[in-house]
Structure 1
Amino acid sequence: MSGGTYSTYDLRIRAVRAVVDECLPVTVVAQAYGTDRSTVHRWMARYRRGGDAGLWRRPVSGRPRKLRGVDGDALRRIVLAPASDYGFETDFWTTRRLVQVFQSQLGILVSKQTVMRRLHEAGLTYQKPEREYFELSEEERQEWIQSEVPRIRAAVRRHGAILYFQDEANVSLTALLGKTWAPCGQTPKQGVTGKRGGVSAQSAITPRGELLFRLHDKRIASQEVIDFLSQMLTHHRRRHLVVVMDQAPPHVSKKTSAYIDSQPRLHVFHLPKYSPDWNPDEKVWNHLKHQELKGHQAKTKAELKTLTETKLARMSRDRELLRGIFFRCCIA
């Protein structure tokens, strides 16, 4: 929300519940959600007065609106339905498409600016969607919540264990480019290497914002997963670890499973298939690639490995950043 003037209803709910249910300090929640402490305190006051309903955006006075017949719920029903239901080729909504729908179906002629304002007031923001795989099974995910989550919590309590979510990623030599200011009509240039390749990496994050990581010069296979799990056990010599990871082949191979079975302090659980959105560690890589390494100038794998290690080490020292990353994940 940083840099903007609107907060969504969902964001306000999640922020308040982080304070109420997770007992996180207001300062930590404010930083995690890109706002200031006074705003979070104001949301808390509204929540105490009216519960969840108190966090809805309040109506304001003014001239009657052209879209006064379309309330927030009606607007949300339109936007949350696929745009293809209204005759468009793809499922994505733009203000231009909404203007066309209002004109063709409701006979209301409005500007894109008006539509944008009403979208914000309805608690909607313009976002890049996360991938959701066609193969995803919602039944399997719900079964996982009902059966595996209690087992994970029980293992943490029984062994006094530290809970980690693990994931791996490939960091590419081809940098992601951000935006910058330039004269109108003159597209700026950014030098990048034309070489292919990258660095493989693994990391694991805890709810408290602890981050462990390991870099590799080759593709991650079973042995690399075992090496990282061994590193985690060595880092916590006297503690049990509960590690949640996805079902990638190196994670469920016979070799990896045999190693896990041989370690009495290691308890591994696997996420449902095709559920990267349920892994908080996935957000670590998203932050690294889109923030820390955006527009990087590494020209070789060696330079990229050094740069990636430096950035991850810096992130590992920023507990507030990592706690925010963890608790923005829906499963957290």
Structure 2
Amino acid sequence: MRLENVDARRIPPQAQEDLRRRVVSAVERGMSQVEAAEVFDVSTRSVSRWWNAFRRKGSKALASGKPGQRPGVQKALSKARQKALCRTILQQTPAQAGGEGLLWTRAEVAALIMRRYRIRLSLPTIGKYLRSWGLSPQRPVRRAYEQNPAAIRAWLTETYPAILAKAKAEGGIVLWLDESGISSTAELGTTWTITGQTPVLPKTGQRFRVNLMAAINNQGRLHFTVYQGSLTVARYLAFLDRLATDYAGSRVHLIADQHPTHKAKTVTSWLAENDQRIVQHFLPGYAPELNPVELLNGDTKREVANKAAPRNRLAMAAAIRAHLHRLQKQPTRVISFFHKPEVTYAAA
């Protein structure tokens, strides 16, 4: 006679072990996992878990642990161990903590716990611990090894505040500038579809790239140009002249990275001649995260990759221009690029 609605977790440990062994034995003799679940009145998930454990580790995988625990799962982490683990995750990469890679995943945290405390926890349990520590999965900001922390501090506490104060005293304007390129091979985002069926979207197999140069301010103004080929001195000077003309009567303080074109002799000479119209300031080296235009560039790449399927350079350029024209009409969205922690210093 078959038992009804049996919760295996509520029966004694020895009876649990006996149940697991009888289920596995039935599957071993040729019964399907679905049939075994029906006959022994347990979930198919439990049958699958027991059978896989048996195949990996043999009969010992079916042995009972302490009451209230699944086989292979140890007691919960103490508060002291939780604090130590959280500190490790915040201060080190997995590789630095004896694991692999740069990013903490639930699997890497589980591996850390096993290495350090010989405790095996499931991924859902790891997720619960991480959330209880105030952690959540986030996309990290890239930071170059060559970055100079002292230069970053000086920029945030001295250089930029001085630029801002001078611009305000003059009645000028502060703009941030950056260049970027969008490739036909740009990665797509995610889409909802049937589990286990990878969707296929039509995209060109040709390889091409279209570039853009943009300048924004924290009041939502956006200026841009879209071009093909490399950034030349002539192209850069034409864009600078446009900016100076657009803000005629107000001196433009332009903040840019240290791209060679920005520092070319011809550019330096032109700026000296137009000093009352526009002046250029350089961000610290290897610190793109300090430039809010980086966020605009990322937004543009995602929009073009996910909402357009350009077949050639002309179509790609048109898609980029269309997106940036829309942004020009949405100043609040441009302002939002100044809200990420790394660039909030530029929001004032």
Classify the secondary structure of the residue corresponding to 2:136: coil
What value does the CA root-mean-square deviation take over the aligned residues? 2.0
- Following the alignment from structure 1 to structure 2, what is the Cα–Cα distance between the partners of residues 120 and 258? 55
CA contact (8 A) 2:88 2:97 kept: no
Query: Offset of 1:294 from its aligned partner?
Result: 2.1
Query: Offset of 1:69 from its aligned partner?
Result: 1.4
Over residues 71-90 of structure 1, what are the superposed CA-to-partner deviations in whole Å (9 max), with x where a residue is unaligned? 77544312121212332132
- Following the alignment from structure 1 to structure 2, what is the Cα–Cα distance between the partners of residues 228 and 73? 53
Match of 2:88 among 78, 87, 94: 78
Question: In the alignment, is residue 126 of structure 1 matched against residue 140 of structure 2?
Answer: no
Match of 2:295 among 283, 286, 289: 283
What percent identity do the matched residue pairs reach? 25
Question: In the alignment, is residue 221 of structure 1 matched against residue 207 of structure 2?
Answer: no
- Following the alignment from structure 1 to structure 2, what is the Cα–Cα distance between the partners of residues 85 and 198? 37
Moved more, 288-297 or 312-321: 288-297
Match of 1:235 in 2: 246
Query: Offset of 1:181 from its aligned partner?
Result: 2.7
Look up the equivalent residue of 2:303 and give its one-letter code: Q
Question: In the alignment, is residue 151 of structure 1 matched against residue 169 of structure 2?
Answer: no
Flag the 1:115–1:156 CA change in 2: closer, same or farther, 3 A: same
CA contact (8 A) 2:99 2:111 kept: no
Match of 2:147 in 1: 136
Look up the equivalent residue of 1:144 and give its one-letter code: W
Match of 2:285 in 1: 273
Match of 1:315 in 2: 327
Look up the equivalent residue of 2:163 and give its one-letter code: I
- Following the alignment from structure 1 to structure 2, what is the Cα–Cα distance between the partners of residues 303 and 270? 33
Segments of 5+ residues of structure 2 without an aligned counterpart are 1-74
Match of 2:184 among 155, 158, 173: 173
Match of 2:100 in 1: 89
Classify the secondary structure of the residue corresponding to 2:174: strand
Query: Offset of 1:272 from its aligned partner?
Result: 0.6
Query: Offset of 1:104 from its aligned partner?
Result: 3.2
Moved more, 279-288 or 108-117: 108-117
Match of 2:199 in 1: 188
CA contact (8 A) 2:174 2:254 kept: yes
- Following the alignment from structure 1 to structure 2, what is the Cα–Cα distance between the partners of residues 215 and 277? 22
Q: Radius of gyration: which is bigger?
A: 2
Match of 1:163 in 2: 174
Query: Offset of 1:67 from its aligned partner?
Result: 3.3
Match of 1:303 in 2: 315
Classify the secondary structure of the residue corresponding to 2:95: helix
CA contact (8 A) 2:304 2:319 kept: no
Query: Offset of 1:225 from its aligned partner?
Result: 1.4
Query: Offset of 1:233 from its aligned partner?
Result: 1.4
Match of 1:22 in 2: none
TM-score by length of 1: 0.75
The 5-angstrom pairing of residues 231-270 of structure 1 reads 231-263=242-274, 264-270=276-282
Classify the secondary structure of the residue corresponding to 1:327: coil
Match of 2:6 in 1: none
Over residues 17-52 of structure 1, what are the superposed CA-to-partner deviations in whole Å (9 max), with x where a residue is unaligned? xxxxxxxxxxxxxxxxxxxxxxxxxxxxxxxxxxxx
- Following the alignment from structure 2 to structure 1, what is the Cα–Cα distance between the partners of residues 152 and 195? 48
TM-score by length of 2: 0.72
Over residues 41-65 of structure 1, what are the superposed CA-to-partner deviations in whole Å (9 max), with x where a residue is unaligned? xxxxxxxxxxxxxxxxxxxxxxxx9
Match of 1:200 among 205, 211, 217: 211
Aligned length: 268
- Following the alignment from structure 1 to structure 2, what is the Cα–Cα distance between the partners of residues 91 and 259? 44
- Following the alignment from structure 1 to structure 2, what is the Cα–Cα distance between the partners of residues 76 and 243? 41
Look up the equivalent residue of 2:189 and give its one-letter code: G
Over residues 88-147 of structure 1, what are the superposed CA-to-partner deviations in whole Å (9 max), with x where a residue is unaligned? 132321111212222332344332112212222323222233322122111222233344
Flag the 1:71–1:259 CA change in 2: closer, same or farther, 3 A: farther
Flag the 1:313–1:302 CA change in 2: closer, same or farther, 3 A: same
